Structure 1
Amino acid sequence: MNLFHRAHLLPIAAAACSLSLLALPASLSAQRAERAVTPSGVAISPDGAFVTYIVGRRGGGALHLVSVIDPARTSEQDKLLTPPGPAGCTTEDPIWSPDSQTLAILSTCATDAKKGQEEVLLWSRATGQFKQLTHLIGELHEMAYSPDGKSIAFLFVENATRSAGALDAMPPWDGVIGEDHVEIQRIYKVDAATGNGDWVTPEKLHVYEFGWSPDSAKIAYTAANPPGENTWWIAKLYSEPVASGSAPTVVFDPNTTTTAMHGLQLAVPRYSPDGSKIAFIGGLMSDQGSTGGDVWVVDSKGGEPTDVTPNIDGTPCFEAWLNNGTIGIVEDRRGSTLLPDVNIAKREIVPNSTLDLGQTTISGGAIKDSVTVSFTARLIAYAKSGINAAPEVWVGRTGYEKQLTHLNVGLKPAARTESVEWENEGFHVQGWLTFPANYNPAKKYPLIVTVHGGPSSSVGSRFGGGNWAEHGYFEFQPNPRGSFGQGEKFVQANRKDFGYGDLRDILKGLDMLEAKYPIDKHREGLTGWSYGGFMSMFAETQTDRFATIIAGAGISNWQSYYGENSIDQWMVPFFGASVYDDPAVYAKSSAITYIHKSKTPMLIIVGDRDGECPAPQSFEMWHALKAMGVKTQLVIYPDEGHGFRNPAHIADRMAREVKWFAEYMPAK
């Protein structure tokens, strides 16, 4: 990204290209995370003098400040900013005011708040002191200063009983379903000086993301009718004046457009510097927060949008205006991260504008993290890590990078990981191979295939690579068709084809690895979570290649799943119709349809309050395998949603997975 293209001052928050929670087994990724200090929430001050970041520790996140000019200077190196408050209180989501004099954070350190309640706190660069700005009850996140610095807006669920979205444990069913206990996320705006605030958006619209207009008078946002965890896939783009009593205007509706955006999803709405246009990421997306597609631009007053990256090689997952004719993007391209600029008139990459970060990720291993820009200093700040690089905070521009932190000095990955590529059915496919610890090429090793979630997601370059090396296994993490990283056509290549072309891509990759590395064909296993759990269940009925399979939070019967989960809207863009209009296309990709072909022993794991992939799907698969006489075991974890939270459950799950693979395909 070439910051010599001058633009207005605007901190930007980037969505990660891969939904890592669904790509990684939570148990093993949590264990690996303890080995490296992982910075997140990176924010550079608009004047380019300082960068703040969050370091997560047991009990929460701590806020750090480092000088960009001289990160080694003792007085500024890794300075800890600690708000007064109860022991173990945490901070997140730091954002700078446009004048660089104030840092806003969300923190549980507010002294008058109930335990765990986040409030907006302000840190003064002049005095070094914190003050509490808000006194609210509910869930706050995704803050953004208005460009004039007078207001702070954020997403707010008043009196929330759980985090917004479908990943957390769903509450027990109670009352009138679909009508009672519906929690709506709206935009709330507070005065940056007094904390006085009010709602911006209507009470019957659930808001997902937003961006300020350059004159601070309007906000562009994506929203849909509640319940919000189910309707993100049919959200529209709105704009609305922030003045009290205003009403929203629909700028763009993907459900009625005649463009290639018809029926697709949109994210990251951002006004141009002159306010005449709004850019967004648009494409086929399976999960809110796992953002990828093309960059589209629409008139801020409404109309049909234009795809300004129609021929891009990778997957844009974030965009920010650099000037009225140029947009900077974050692009995932076959396991590498690039930050090029796009000329919107020519609809192409600006020559010599790309900051190529190589085989790294700047997501920090989170669902959503931050990339922020100082136009004054012409610098981008980000947390970067990769298969051979431990996480650190960096700043850079085209042709220049500077490391600001040294949190993991001398830390090396426990095992070697390589990017692997192969051809199948006209597709060029990429993935990752992690070698067993203490690898000896003269020995034969077992291999575990880990299929990521989504399917609109990808496995990126991550420090430490895989999860199974320390137990003596190769681990293969493929990005088959349907994944991010190779353009929108590749993402859409598995529409109406779940479990077929993507499984063939995986098996072809496995053929390539067997021919190249010392892999024991009789000790190969398969696992995955969410969509990876579906792939594990479906592969059970399609191939006898694997010695055993572990399916986490999977889907065994798309027909029954449609009526059981809390997010049925996500399936329509992928299957082309609802299950009631085309039941056959859902049956085609259901493991239950072919259950008589099952032979492979399977461990099945799920949380009992999973709203995305409900436990009945795992019960159905388990029951069918028992009826077929196939060795199987079902483990249900209480009070867990799609992403496990209880450390005891995470540890137990890890132990069970290790034991199951060791029984059917031991490493020694």
Structure 2
Amino acid sequence: MFKPTRLFLPLLAALLAPAAMADTHSGATDPRIESLLTQLGKVRNISEVAVSPDGQQLAWVVDTNGKTGIVLADAHGQHAHNVGLAAKPGVCSEYGMAWAPDSQHLAFLSTCAGATGTMGSKQPDIYVLDTQSQSKPTRLSNLHGYVDALSWAPDGKSLGFLYVEGATRRASALAAAKPALGEIGVEGIEVQRIATLPAQGGALQLLTPADTYVYEFSWAPDSQRVAYVAAPPPGDNNWWVGQLYVQAATSGATRTALVDPHTVSGSLHGLQIALPRWSPDGSRIAFIGGLMSDQGATGGDLYSVSAHGGAPVDLTPGIHVTPAWFSWSSPQSMLVSQVNNGHAQVAEYTVQADQAQQQRVLFTAPGYIGDGTAELSLSLSADHHYIAFAQSSFDVAPEVYAGAVGDQAPSAVTSINAGLKPSWGKAQSVEWDNEGFHVQGWLLYPANYDPTKRYPMIVNIHGGPSSAVMPHWPSVGYGAAPFSALGYFVFMTNPRGSFGEGETFVQANRKDFGYGDLRDTLTGVDAVEKLVPVDDHRLGLTGWSYGGFMSMFVPTQTQRFRAVVAGAGIANWQSYYGQNLIDQWMIPFFGASVYDDPAVYAKSSAINFIKKVKTPTLIVVGERDAECPAPQSFEYWHALRALGVPTSLVVYPNEGHHFYNPVNQRDVLQRALNWFEKYLPPQ
């Protein structure tokens, strides 16, 4: 979602921790909850998929006992076998795959031989496997820090990657923040740079300067240049002011700033840019530009700019889908992954100098797709004739899908999770219109649905707000689908501000958090109640991140919901602005700083309407959340407790915005399930 604070107020946390960790339910745990959590824990996540450039080999990364390993097979998933350094799966972690242009060598990261690194865990290093020989992988690096995004130069002579030398944490605002000690904003700043290594071994070279934080990069077709999105450090804060640069692929080279969204005119002004990609002839660079609330949750219009400079061009103005990822097929064509009405879709586009037009939709996936490198990303052979990705839905657990690029969706080539069946009910797309917008959401039926009964319903609002709910198999961590297994309808909305209906729809909740998107959601609830037997007096509300903000704000605007679970929420945009050290994301959404326009922040702050809240609320948050700081949850909990509203606050130690500890992942979901069962018991 947003990229807020690193300040946690540890003294306040220590004083309140005993109350914060109080149990959220009384009596014995529902045995169905334990059974559900056990079932969710059985899924083996497939985090990466990569097809070789010649389309003949397929590799994927799969989880075994909490450790990731690499499996190599032919293009159809046959003759699969584990590769790498691990003696057996589940012992150490190997991931971060990248095929060499020769389709024979596979680079990857491995912790199997590493000592404890600067981040307190095993240090990953770069290895290269010759897939056509029986030799062991060759170690190329001896790193000391965070490494990500391995990428071969097109000529195969070197490997590029993102590197944070001496890193003490993952380079992500989702990770737990560093303790706020020393001179804030000055000491302990960690910088991510582009680094390269010769493919045959040699010295590491840092291409980009130490005063520039690089978020992503792309090799030019001639291997002589790189394009990248970067900003001054600190990196967590400044992605929203990132610029597009080009420089020679050598250390100390002079860089050229191609696009600065804050100085350009037109539709890109003040927005964000992501996924720079060179055209095959090297003449221009395309990227996605739009209103994006998170690095990694990419969506917007397709833009293009000359590799030598000039004004960027919006290639897709006015489209009613949201491109999230793309790859050039030729200088005049692209393959695009896009969000359309809550669905993942792959389409072909023709590209001219100032326009890109969708020619045909190749397929609409039944669930979420991706190869692990970016949102809705695909792994493609060099000729774009073969495609591979991981896919899951509400009905089918994750598997690897691969096949020829054409008019039909690829089929599964693995059966890693074939034995898993959903314990929740069927999924249905629901669409409605409100205030001139077309809106979509996903409805999960209760398990063992009986149309003669009336059921409670839990409404889930996604994070972002620039994001979208798409069907996917749930994990043990916090999510909406498990509520269906306990007898609830679950309604997951994509209101204004979401991806999937075009950029106008995404920008429709600027300076309006909690109002238009709430009206869209309530209108959707009305639409659902006309379709299925929902008891309007037994409605619950939940969400994480932006959904956590909505879970705090909505009860100040309506009494329609009878129980709430607010995950990593924001109660007071004004105090939030002053607490956090990561404030750049807020200007595009609020239009000004809180010092220049405090009223726009005040009108969306739940704390300003707190006496209207009557709804029992469970509040959960990570102790070191760098996106939605824990003090916001304390502020909301303190107010509800003072007003006599049933509430409980649970703070999870050493967790950030995304929970990594399996014990905490399990506990937060269990507490939420128990909370709703207490206040909205299914009959």
Q: Verify same fold: TM over 0.5.
A: yes
**Partner of residue 101 from structure 1, selected from 99, 104, 112:** 104
What is the aligned partner in structure 2 of residue 88 from structure 1?
91
Residues 318 and 550 (structure 1), Cα distance of their counterparts in 2 relative to 1, 3 Å cut: same
**Deviation of the 1:370 alpha carbon:** 4.4
Secondary structure of residue in 1 paired with 2:589: helix
Task: Give 1:449's aligned residue.
Answer: 459
Contact 1:309 1:342 in 2 (8 A): no
Further displaced range: 34-43 or 533-542: 34-43
Measure the CA separation in 1 of the matches of 2:635 and 2:583. Answer: 18
Report what 2:597 is aligned to.
582
2:69 — aligned with what? 62
- Is 1:371 the counterpart of 2:378? The answer is yes
- Say if 1:542 and 1:597, in contact at 8 Å, map to a contact too: yes
1:302 pairs with one of 291, 296, 309: 309
Aligned to 2:258: 251
| Contact 1:166 1:566 (8 Å CA) reproduced | no
Q: 1:52 aligns with which of 59, 65, 69?
A: 59
Larger mean Cα displacement after TM superposition, 589-598 or 184-193: 589-598
Q: CA–CA distance in 2 between the matches of 1:410 and 1:111? A: 35
2: CA distance between counterparts of 1:625 and 1:364? 43
- Tell me the CA shift for residue 386 of structure 1: 2.3
Letter in 1 for 2:341: R
Change (3 A) 1:531 1:365: farther
Aligned match of 1:439: 449
Distance 1:30 1:377, change over 3 A: farther
Comparing 217-226 with 650-659, greater Cα deviation is found at 650-659
Q: Which position in structure 1 is the counterpart of 2:24?
A: none
Task: Confirm or deny that 1:121 pairs with 2:136.
Answer: no
Counterpart AA for 2:661? N
How far apart, in 2, do the equivalents of 1:165 and 1:408 lie? 29
User: Cα–Cα, structure 1 residues 452 and 373, in superposed 2: closer, same or farther, change >3 Å?
Assistant: same
In structure 2, which of residues 557, 578, 599 is the aligned counterpart of residue 542 of structure 1?
A: 557
Give the CA deviation at 1:604.
1.1
1:503-559 CA distances to partner (integer Å, 9 max, x unpaired)? Answer: 111111111111211111111100111100000010010000011111111001101
User: Matches of 1:509 and 1:36 in 2, distance apart?
Assistant: 32
The alpha-carbon deviation at position 268 of structure 1 amounts to 0.4
CA distance in 1, matches of 2:523, 2:191: 45
The root-mean-square deviation of aligned C-alpha atoms, in Å, is: 2.1
Deviation string 1:152-204 (CA, Å, 9 cap, x unpaired) is 00000011100112111111111111000000000011101114211010100
Residues 50/29 of structure 1: CA separation in 2 closer, same or farther (3 Å cut): farther
Shifted more, 178-187 versus 408-417: the winner is 408-417
The alpha carbon displacement at 1:365 in A equals 9.0
1:399 aligns with 2:407: yes
TM alignment of 1:380-399, pairs within 5 A = 380-395=387-402, 396-399=404-407
Alignment of 1:456-495 (within 5 A): 456-463=466-473, 466-495=481-510
Find the residue that maps to 2:523 and give its secondary structure. Answer: helix
Task: Supply the distance in 2 between the matched residues of 1:172 and 1:230 (Cα, whole angstroms).
Answer: 16
Q: CA deviation at 1:592?
A: 1.1
What are the equivalent positions in structure 2 for 1:519-558 lying under 5 Å apart? 519-558=534-573
CA contact (8 A) 2:325 2:376 kept: no
SS in 2 for 1:462: coil
Q: Check conservation: 2:326, 2:377, Cα contact below 8 A.
A: no
1:628 to 643, 661, 674: 643
Q: How does 1:19-418 map to 2 (within 5 A)?
A: 33-68=40-75, 71-72=77-78, 76=79, 78-84=80-86, 88-111=91-114, 114=117, 116-128=122-134, 129-345=136-352, 347-352=355-360, 354-363=361-370, 368=375, 370-376=377-383, 378-395=385-402, 396-400=404-408, 401-409=410-418, 411-414=420-423, 415-418=425-428
Structure 1 contact 28–654 (Cα < 8 Å) conserved: no
Q: Aligned in 2, Cα 1:113/1:586: closer, same or farther, shift over 3 Å?
A: closer
For the Cα contact (< 8 Å) 1:233–1:264, is it kept in 2? yes
Counterparts of 2:188 and 2:175, CA distance in 1: 16
Counterpart CA distance in 1 for 2:199 and 2:50 is 18
Deviation, structure 1 residue 357: 2.8
Give 1:376 shift. 3.8
Checking the alignment, whether the CA contact within 8 Å between 1:170 and 1:641 is kept in structure 2 is yes
Q: Is the 8 A contact 2:114 2:123 kept in 1?
A: no
Aligned to 1:597: 612
Give the CA deviation at 1:245. Answer: 2.8
Amino acid at match of 1:181: G
Tell me how far apart the structure 2 counterparts of residues 473 and 629 of structure 1 sit (CA, whole Å).
Answer: 27
- Looking at structure 2, the residues matched to 341 and 65 of structure 1 have their Cα atoms a distance apart, in angstroms, of 29
SS at match of 1:468: helix
Q: How many corresponding residue pairs?
A: 638
Matched to 2:612, the amino acid is: K
Would the aligned equivalents of 1:110 and 1:132 in 2 still touch at CA under 8 Å? no
Letter of the 1:50 counterpart: Q
In 2 relative to 1, CA 246–271 (structure 1 residues): closer, same or farther, beyond 3 Å?
A: same
Once structures 1 and 2 are overlaid, which stretch shifts more, 242-251 or 387-396?
A: 387-396
Q: Which amino acid aligns with 2:368?
A: T
Partner of 1:504: 519
Q: What SS does the corresponding residue of 1:455 show, helix, strand or coil?
A: coil
Unaligned regions of 5+ residues in structure 1, if any? 1-17, 20-26
| Conserved 8 A contact 1:41-1:370 | no
- When normalised by structure 1's length, the TM-score is 0.92
Q: For 1:39 and 1:653, locate their aligned partners in 2 and report how far apart those are by CA, in whole Å.
A: 23
Q: Structure 1 residues 413 and 505 mapped into 2: Cα distance closer, same or farther (>3 Å)?
A: same
Looking at structure 2, the residues matched to 645 and 221 of structure 1 have their Cα atoms a distance apart, in angstroms, of 29
Q: Are the counterparts in 1 of residues 368 and 376 from structure 2 also a CA contact under 8 Å?
A: no
How far apart, CA to CA, are the structure 2 residues paired with 1:658 and 1:243?
54
The whole-number CA distance in structure 2 between the counterparts of 1:628 and 1:84 is: 56
Distance 1:30 1:343 in 2: 46
**Amino acid corresponding to residue 60 of structure 1 in structure 2:** K
**How far 1:473 moved relative to its partner?**
0.9
Moved >6 Å (runs of 4+): 27-32, 364-367
Report sequence identity in percent: 48
Tell me, in whole angstroms, the C-alpha distance in 2 between the residues paired with 1:124 and 1:177: 46
Segment of structure 1 superposing worse, 240-249 or 410-419: 410-419
Maintained 8 Å contact 1:626/1:632 = yes
Superposed CA deviations along residues 319-369 of structure 1, whole A, max 9, x for unmatched, are: 1111112122111111222221222227243534x3113332213799757
Shift of 1:654: 2.1
Cα pair 2:298 2:375 within 8 Å, conserved: no
Deviation at 1:642, TM superposition (A): 0.9
Using the alignment, how far apart are the partners of 1:492 and 1:404 within structure 2? 39
Tell me, which stretches of 5 or more residues in structure 2 are unaligned?
Answer: 3-33, 475-479
